Amino acid sequence: MCKVIAVVNQKGGVGKTTTTANLGVGLEMKGKHVLLIDADAQGDLTMCMGYNNPDRFEKTLTTILKQVIEDELENPFEAVIHNEEGIDLIPCNIELSGMEVSLVNVMGREYILKQYLEQVKDRYDYILIDCSPSLGMVTINALAAADSVLIPVEAEYLPAKGLEQLIKTIRKTRNKINPKLEIEGILMTMVDERTNLSREIMDLIQVGYDSSVRVFETKIPKSIRAAESTVLGTSIFQYDMKSKVAGAYKRLVKEVLGDA
């Protein structure tokens, strides 16, 4: 059965897109069929997967959502592109920003993305949704469609402080919209264990949430190699398989698969 994971944090710059891309490629390397969905109007995941000009795509997530709203979806795979690393991707560009307004007046507005995924899930083992750093209607659609939420959190004070509000929002979504929604786990990213602050933040989150929310044992280290791979539009596995960050994402894949 397909598992849908929304990668969410209302704060930008916490490694959300990098995690979506590398987790997706890592799962594909384990023989899983994976679909990545770029649900951020900035198109960062699309660029991260090697497509530097998201605006050139005629068929995107926006196209799909509009067709579902208008009951005109004939080919659910028409916006899917196949990446050279074996990943399927639904790209996104600035057009998605208009969907926030359009969805407000749509009947069943929280479930448009879920309606779409029901038509493609049979082809995949995992669907990962890279959400925008906000809690707008498109992100709510992702939470309504997801089985679980993966929360990347930078090992810094302000990102950690916003975590409590995000978890409250996820629980509210579960109570009102998607009763099956679970928290996959909190993933510490951009960790520099040489600093006292990083260690203190990790300890704080471990103690504060581990009893109620899973905190992944894997910690993603701060690494220039990860940033370089993103700029080049490739996964860390293709860019530098022997790096520490590649090893960390391999361990994360094992935890997600339950092999850790």
* Mean pLDDT on 33-47: 95
Assess whether pLDDT exceeds 80 at residue 155. no
Question: What's the total number of domains in the chain?
Answer: 1
Helix intervals (H) in the chain = 16-29, 44-48, 61-69, 97-104, 112-117, 137-145, 157-161, 163-176, 196-209, 224-231, 236-239, 244-257
Q: Residue 150's pLDDT is what? A: 97
Three-state secondary structure call for residue 14: coil
Q: What is the pLDDT of residues 231-260, one digit of tens each?
A: 889 999 999 999 999 999 999 999 999 964
Residue 230: what pLDDT? 87
pLDDT tens-digit readout, 118-127: 999 999 999 9
Residue 178: name the closest of 126, 109, 100, 110 by CA: 110
Residue whose entry in the numeric block shows the structure tokens 């993103």: 230
Instruction: Inform me whether the pLDDT recorded for 159 exceeds 70.
Output: no
Q: Which domain holds residue 24?
A: 3-257
Kindly tell me if the per-residue pLDDT of 197 is higher than 90. Answer: no
189: β partners? 154
How far, in Å, CA of 180 to CA of 202, rounded?
A: 28
CB–CB of 112/94 below 8 Å? Answer: no
d(CA 174, CA 120): 23
Q: In the block, which residue shows the tokens 């926006």?
A: 62
Q: How far apart are CA 249 and CA 28, in angstroms?
A: 13
CATH of the domain at 111: 3.40.50.300
Please give the share of the chain, as a percent, with pLDDT higher than 90. 66
Q: What is the pLDDT of residue 39?
A: 96
- pTM value is 0.93
- For tokens 């779409």, the residue is 116
Helix 97-104 crosses helix 137-145 at what angle (to 10 degrees)? Answer: 80
DSSP per-residue codes, 78-146: TT-EE-TTS-EEE---GGGHHHHHHHHTSTTGGGHHHHHHTTTGGG-SEEEEEE-SS-SHHHHHHHHH-
Structure tokens at 60: 């995107």
